[in-house]
Amino acid sequence: MPSFHFLYRPVLAGIVILCLFWAKASAGTAAPDPEPATGWQNKEAASAKRFMAVTAHPLATEAASVVLKKGGTAVDAAVTAQLVLNLVEPQSSGIGGGAFMLYWDAGNQTLLSFDGRETAPAAVESDYFKDAGGQIRKWRQARLGARAVGVPGTLHLLHTAHQQFGSQPWESLFTPAITLSRTGFSVSPRMAKSIKGAQEYLRRFEETREYFFTEQGDPLPAGHHLKNPAFADTLETIAKEGIAPFYEGVIGAKLIEALQGTSAMPALMTAQDLAEYRTLSRPPVCAGYHGNAVCGMGPPSSGALTVGQILRLVERFDIGSLGPGAESIHLILEASRLAFADRARYMADSDFVPVPVEGLLNADYLRARSQLIQPEASIGEALPGHPPGITTAQASMHQIEPAGTSHFSIVDSRGNIVSMTTTIESGFGSMLMTQGFVLNNEMTDFSFRASKEGRPVANRVEGGKRPRSSMAPTIVFNSGGAPVLVAGSPGGSRIICYVAQALIGVLDWEMNPQQAVSMPHFCNRNGATDLEPHHDAKTLETALTGLGHEVRIRDMNSGLHMIQLLPSGQLLGGADPRREGRILGE
């Protein structure tokens, strides 16, 4: 049997799964209309036998595929993919941000999760988001400049994972990104649209102004040939000397220097904060669903817990027979209300606050919560439940969580798997660049208020704490312990909806991965129901409104990248048509 944890605590190692439910790749679904923010690119399902990589940009997928073809592991390919994404998709992720990696070690039949989430500087106190007059700052002000930047963790995570599971030399994995940085690459339509949309803020800081605009001062257009020699220099140093220059040397010193004088309040990050950063290996969180184990990141991510709750809450309904129509979508949305209510109250960095992880996935608790779901009418705004294991009376807090993230899924020729979601938080993060890479604005993922109605907020800001995330890198295992699905997405707090929906698409509605990631999105975060525009959206809106939903039809930007592992050994890939991603395998 594989080694991974059904719940969060190591004492609960081992999963008990009832039976295998195999989803055949057969059903189809309508594609939504073009999504204005990034555009729609029709994509075909892809298959392979030996290995596969799916990322958000063709150049990153190609670089990862080359590594896999040379015999590299999934972790080797992940290092290369992330560095190339940092260059060609700088608005979404990079070494100035943080990430979560789920890793399946096929040889040892073990599932591990690596927490490379950013941390708050040690000097942070509860008034961090207040201005000089003692008023809480607006989010749009707080996300700009140095005060928004958390201690980056992505590079540390990559290095930690590579030391354990890499087979190719560290330095060799940097070559594609260094070469592209020196010789240049073509600015993609998505990157150009992102620059144009963020130009007001990118112009405020010298390095982003110089990098993302033409000599005439215009946002870089699609097709512009862009070079990044500063990033090449940074990568060459890290390739040769490891991560020490970033966390304890010259790169880190320049990073700290770049923070000075860029926000109304002084920067608090220090060289010691960088030097003390560590990637944490945490037990994965798994939830049973129709005989499968759906596994992902535990706190500080809310991803696996909330996705797991949604699936468990709808499990008593025959979602598969209902198909992807108004009746089943209503049930999933109602489950999502309940799960997001619990998320808002209980989920945060478990190293700082008690998170009742076992209780939140407790079978009796979820069985009782599921009874609140009525097929005939919406429950409206859901209240949080009272899961077993509560030790602190905390306050619920909902907050802004914009989409500025990327996800890639990789399976290597040995059967090892990486599911990694990586971010700099909002598009272009804090809008600050240093040495060729963008710095995150992850501090704004904390609650701006430390308490509410006299009770502490779980996700309040504290020195050294990691902000709550919605990132949900996922690997699904069948009853025999074999991996059958690899998935994840960007999308802010809607990540949870996107991943849960895609999993249901394959496991219940018998879609292949490409069909599942192309489905029109729907999401409820315990408020209004959001629907993605598509040809049946108005009909669905009418049906859901009749059931008591407040419906908004709006663009919903995801980046789902999925791989299905069939019993025959065949790999099926799906790349989100809302982004520029590509699937490659052999």
Q: Mind telling me the catalytic residues?
A: 405
Distance CA(335)–CA(417), nearest Å, equals 29
Q: Is the Cβ–Cβ distance between 405 and 420 less than 8 Å? A: no
**Residues with Cβ within 8 Å of residue 60, at least 6 apart in sequence:** 80, 81, 82, 84, 85, 88, 89, 408
Distance CA(189)–CA(585), nearest Å, equals 25
Q: Could you give the 3-state DSSP secondary structure of residue 422?
A: strand
Helix segments in 2-102, DSSP class H: 58-69, 74-88
Counting other chains too, the contacts that 5-8 makes at CB distance below 8 Å and 24 or more residues apart are 5/111, 5/283, 5/284, 5/285, 5/286, 6/286, 6/288, 6/293, 7/285, 7/286, 7/357, 7/358, 7/361, 8/283, 8/285, 8/298, 8/299, 8/350, 8/355, 8/357, 8/358
Residue 395 pairs with which residues in a beta bridge? 457
Q: Is the Cβ–Cβ distance between 119 and 300 less than 8 Å? A: no
Q: Is the Cβ–Cβ distance between 287 and 294 less than 8 Å? A: yes
Residue 293 pairs with which residues in a beta bridge? 288, 477
- Which among 283, 346, 335, 349 has a CA at the least distance from the CA of 307? 335
Q: Could you give the 3-state DSSP secondary structure of residue 313?
A: helix
Distance CA(174)–CA(166), nearest Å, equals 13
Q: How far is CA 180 from the centre of its chain?
A: 25
Whether omega before 121 lies within 30 degrees of 0, making that bond cis, reads: no
- Which among 319, 324, 331, 326 has a CA at the least distance from the CA of 29? 324
